[in-house]
Amino acid sequence: MSTRAYKLLNRSIGKALHQYGMILDGERIAVGLSGGKDSLTLMWFLQDRLSRIPIQYQLFPIYIDPGFEGGFADELSAFCVEMGYSLRVEKTDYGILSHSEVNRENPCFLCARLRRKRLFEIADELGCRKLALGHHKDDIIETLFLNMCYAGEISTMVPLQTLFQGRFTVIRPLALADEEVIQRFSEESRFPRFVNPCPSATRSKRQEIKTLLHRLYRSNRKIKGNIFRSMSRVKPEYLL
């Protein structure tokens, strides 16, 4: 493939992997799949790179089914088979529980926390010490604003994060990639489109922040890049 979207993603993923030393030779890597364009693109590129880099690693895709009716676990499994992988599907009721009356927290927050916990447990069962997630540049910026607005702190996701006293490492190879480029690549690659059955999929706090940011981006095309760069150019002496 030689499209512009492919070249941009290949460059940004390669830069992130090298800059943060994300993957070492011989590693077993769990890959969190959601069925969305981001995680499918992540899985595709991690597999594609194996044929042209000097190191080898093993990929183990995992999907945590939140339990809603109208799910797509079977279709996602079939797509992974086409890619040459067996998808580990974990059936749960996390989505239903998070939207029930017993939960007083934000449903998205609780569901994400439960799914992440189970991802680490399954990764451990599979002998994987690294978990690859499909978060991209836009996700990182949105998380910064989410945490400032709703958690009262300045923090976000990072490209590489060691957890549990070094037992696991989360890697985000798409951390330097723009969402719009990922969207173009997924369309060019004709990835299947899985409809998210979650009732909060289109009305989450993250969607509100995304809408707000897109208004800013339209007003000045430099704003997005400036926000992203600002996270690595912090001046603590000018903060409270």
Q: Which residues contact 230 (CB under 8 A, 6 or more apart)?
A: none
β-pair partners for 169 = 130, 162
Query: For the chain, what is the domain count?
Result: 1
> In Å, what is the CA distance from 206 to each residue of 107, 155, 211?
12, 15, 9
Q: What is the pLDDT of residue 22?
A: 98
Structure tokens at 174: 């798409």
Q: What is the pLDDT of residue 201?
A: 73
CA 192, 195, 198 angle in degrees (round to 5)? Answer: 150
Q: What is the pLDDT of residue 55?
A: 94
Q: What is the pLDDT of residue 106?
A: 79
Rounded distance, CA 233 to CA 240, Å?
16
> In Å, what is the CA distance from 186 to each residue of 31, 171, 182, 193?
18, 21, 6, 9
Query: Consecutive 10-residue runs of the chain (240 residues): their mean pLDDT?
Result: 92 97 97 96 96 95 92 94 94 88 79 93 97 98 95 96 94 98 96 86 84 96 96 95
Q: What is the pLDDT of residue 109?
A: 83
Q: What is the pLDDT of residue 155?
A: 97
User: Dihedral of the CA atoms 107, 43, 138, 72 (nearest 10)?
Assistant: -40
Closest alpha carbon to 205 in 133, 154, 137, 151: 151
Q: How do beta strands 168-171 and 160-163 pair?
A: antiparallel
Q: Are 172 and 15 in contact (CB under 8 A)?
A: no
Q: What is the pLDDT of residue 141?
A: 98
Residue-number span of the structural domain to which 128 is assigned: 4-238
CATH number, residue 191: 3.40.50.620
CA 160 to chain centre: 12
Closest alpha carbon to 140 in 166, 158, 122: 158
pTM of the predicted structure, to 2 decimals: 0.94
Q: What is the pLDDT of residue 195?
A: 84
Closest alpha carbon to 189 in 10, 6, 23: 6
Q: Is the dihedral of CA 172, 175, 176, 181 positive or negative?
A: positive
* Sheet strand arrangement including 130-132: 88-91, 58-65, 28-33, 130-132, 168-171, 160-163
